Structure 1
Amino acid sequence: MTGPAPAASARPLRVLLAGFSGLGSQDHQTDMYLPAFTAHPGFELAAVAGDEPQARATAERLGVPLVADLATALGDVDADVVSVCVRPDERAEVAVRALENGRHVLVDKPAATDTRGTAAIAAAASSAGRVCLPAHHQRFAPGVRAARAAVAGGRVGLPWNIQSDFLVGGGDPVPEGELANFAVYPVDIVLALTGQAVHRVHALAAGSPGPSGAERTVVLMLDHAHGVTSTIVVGRGADGIAAPGTVFHRHRVSGSSGVLVVDAAGPTLTVRGSAGARALPFDRGSVNALVREFHGAVTEGRPADPDIEDALAVARIVDAARTSLRTGLPVDVAVRPEPARTPAPVPAA
């Protein structure tokens, strides 16, 4: 498969900010992506698209044009890339339209509300030959980056099981539930660490539901190809799971010749094997590293890591988990007959 055509790199890539919405009260455009684009010398802000008060305020603060309608903005604004943070139920349509108009796209997580929407984005990106980077920025957490390199380098032998926790204490619960919100991150990381597709999902709700009635904590038990298994606990606050203000972001990779323990929130990274325990070094930063990856993929004409196909794999698993929660039964995941990706080392930022 050939990658997207490289963009001209003589000037900064011009960014169109599309939307300031998310799950619940989230505004990742303002809190995460805009600061990262601003800090990177390879990007410059071209315009803002949207009719929210935050869109108007941002355009005024940055001194760039405001275009209320996205279709008009795609036609009138000289932009190379679009940062899509519209409402989740609108993301597939907006991302597809931007890709079909020749723009590269960074899309907030989740990329769409279900597998069908994510598949539509993936098809549009492939047809247009453009980069579509899902904002799975926790893949760029320094401990996770070092862990991917360690696993790919054979530090623990052949992985056979991963245990992951992604638990946040306090904050603003999203009405859609933390399966829709947080599960994207650890599922994506487990796929990146193993390179093995998931064939079956069994999901269990833990503790009491949130104020909206949606699940607040979920346990995911995943069966991967080649006998690899993983267990993921994801959730927010309450029921003694995590004290207010804390974040548990941990991964334990058991392999044929050792165990790798990652505390990505700590952060620490330790490999334990027959020769004893050894701490591994790593760099810092996740959202800025995500934006650096976006710039590199666009200017070098290569697929992004992660790319929208990774988001599609996550969407299939989350959809299967929803069905499993509803039925109480394990659910087979429909995946395309393609070889598993080999987990590759991630260069230090």
Structure 2
Amino acid sequence: MTITVALVGNGGIGTQDHQNSMYRPAFERHPGFQVVGSVDEAEVLSIALPLAERGKAVADAIRAGKHVLADKPLAATLAEALEIERLAAEHRVVVVPAHHQRFGAALRSATAAVRAGRVGLPWNVQCDFVVAGGDPAPTGELVNFGLYPVDVVRALLGLEVRRVHATGSPDLVTLLLDHDHGVTSTIVCGRVPALRDLPPGGLAVHRYRISGSHGVLAVDARKPALQVRTTNTNGPVWTGPGTVDALLDVVAAGVASGRAAIGPHDAVQAQRVIEAAQRSIEAGQPVETGE
């Protein structure tokens, strides 16, 4: 079965155009999707509008009975994300936020290992998610990138965040997170100046160290990949399907079954942490997530 998809918008945070740089190429090469020119013809809408417009567009698509792939963040505010979650349940459509980093091969293997008890009872996760070069986000990199590692840590542990202590600058932020059952995590996230061996905006570091009662698991989430140098480009290239390709597999399976492996609740919980981190930076102290 081929699923029809229409592309809505080509904006994002700052100069981003994830629609044309990420989603369009992935849809065009995926055997389960056909890109069409009309929203009325489409079963799925790929929405990548500027952040201020995105939440309303996603809500309108849900009311029209469309399944949605939404660029990250799903919405500009927690209130908007909660309304989208409510609407998706009411209208019984699939809404997949583009938290594609959790679907990298190394992270999927790590998640399975943690859930299988390979490190015993996890007690701490340390993460570095750092991009080199590219255009700084006008929102600050916490809003731009922070949800990626927050979402991955939630997927690894299966535990919600209850308290956040955040510190740093618009470019680089450290998050100290308290999860259920006394588990903690530390995330360093942001952007540093350009590096010679990376394309602008490329991931310089994306790694996790998961400590448990019976062992430690170290994960380089940029793998498996090859470093490829040509006359025009220099950077890592996935050796298999990339994270966005895996995300579209999730969308296709969700449309077929009525339930996706990731949904608006995941976006709500990530947004809850990001907004708590913003409050923590302003207050200079830890804050509750407020759930």
TM (normalized to structure 1)?
0.76
State the distance in 1 between where 2:213 and 2:95 align: 35
Query: Which of 8, 13, 19 in structure 2 is aligned with 1:29?
Result: 19
State the distance in 2 between where 1:334 and 1:323 align: 11
| Equivalent residue number for residue 220 of structure 1 | 175
State the distance in 1 between where 2:270 and 2:210 align: 19
Query: Which of 322, 328, 338 in structure 1 is aligned with 2:278?
Result: 322
Q: Give, as a single letter, the amino acid of the residue that structure 2 aligns with 1:334.
A: G
Post-superposition CA distance 1:63-85 (Å, at most 9, x none): xx5xxxxxxx4xxx221010010
State the distance in 2 between where 1:80 and 1:113 align: 25
Alignment of 1:148-187 (within 5 A): 148-187=111-150
Query: How far did residue 306 of structure 1 move?
Result: 1.5
1:190 aligns with 2:180: no
Query: How far did residue 293 of structure 1 move?
Result: 0.8
Alpha carbons of 1:178 and 1:46: their partners in 2 closer, same or farther (altered >3 Å)?
Answer: same
1:100 aligns with 2:55: no
Alignment of 1:91-170 (within 5 A): 91-170=54-133
Alignment of 1:70-109 (within 5 A): 73=39, 77-109=40-72
Q: Give, as a single letter, the amino acid of the residue that structure 1 aligns with 2:287.
A: V
Alignment of 1:237-252 (within 5 A): 237-238=192-193, 243=195, 245=198, 247-252=204-209
Alpha carbons of 1:95 and 1:250: their partners in 2 closer, same or farther (altered >3 Å)?
Answer: same
1:287 aligns with 2:235: no
Query: Which of 239, 244, 261 in structure 2 is aligned with 1:305?
Result: 261
| Equivalent residue number for residue 205 of structure 1 | 168
Post-superposition CA distance 1:250-305 (Å, at most 9, x none): 0000011000000112449xxxxxxxxxxxxx965210000011001111222x12
| Equivalent residue number for residue 231 of structure 1 | 186
| Equivalent residue number for residue 30 of structure 2 | 40
Unaligned 5+ segments in structure 2 are 226-238
Aligned length: 273
Q: Give, as a single letter, the amino acid of the residue that structure 1 aligns with 2:20.
A: T
Q: SS at 2:61's partner residue?
A: helix
Q: Which runs of 4+ in 1 moved over 4 A?
A: none
Q: SS at 1:250's partner residue?
A: strand
State the distance in 2 between where 1:145 and 1:33 align: 21
1:265 aligns with 2:222: yes
State the distance in 2 between where 1:139 and 1:313 align: 15
State the distance in 2 between where 1:139 and 1:296 align: 16
Q: SS at 1:295's partner residue?
A: helix
| Equivalent residue number for residue 210 of structure 1 | none
Post-superposition CA distance 1:294-323 (Å, at most 9, x none): 001111222x12211001000000000001
Q: Give, as a single letter, the amino acid of the residue that structure 2 aligns with 1:46.
A: V
Q: Give, as a single letter, the amino acid of the residue that structure 1 aligns with 2:6.
A: L
- Contact kept, 8 Å, 2:175 with 2:188, in 1: the verdict is yes
Q: SS at 1:199's partner residue?
A: strand
State the distance in 2 between where 1:180 and 1:105 align: 21
Identity %: 47
State the distance in 2 between where 1:46 and 1:263 align: 37
Q: Give, as a single letter, the amino acid of the residue that structure 1 aligns with 2:178.
A: D
State the distance in 1 between where 2:264 and 2:72 align: 11
Q: SS at 1:23's partner residue?
A: coil
Alpha carbons of 1:283 and 1:156: their partners in 2 closer, same or farther (altered >3 Å)?
Answer: farther
Q: SS at 2:80's partner residue?
A: helix
Instruction: Please give the root-mean-square deviation of Cα atoms over the aligned residues, in Å.
Output: 1.6
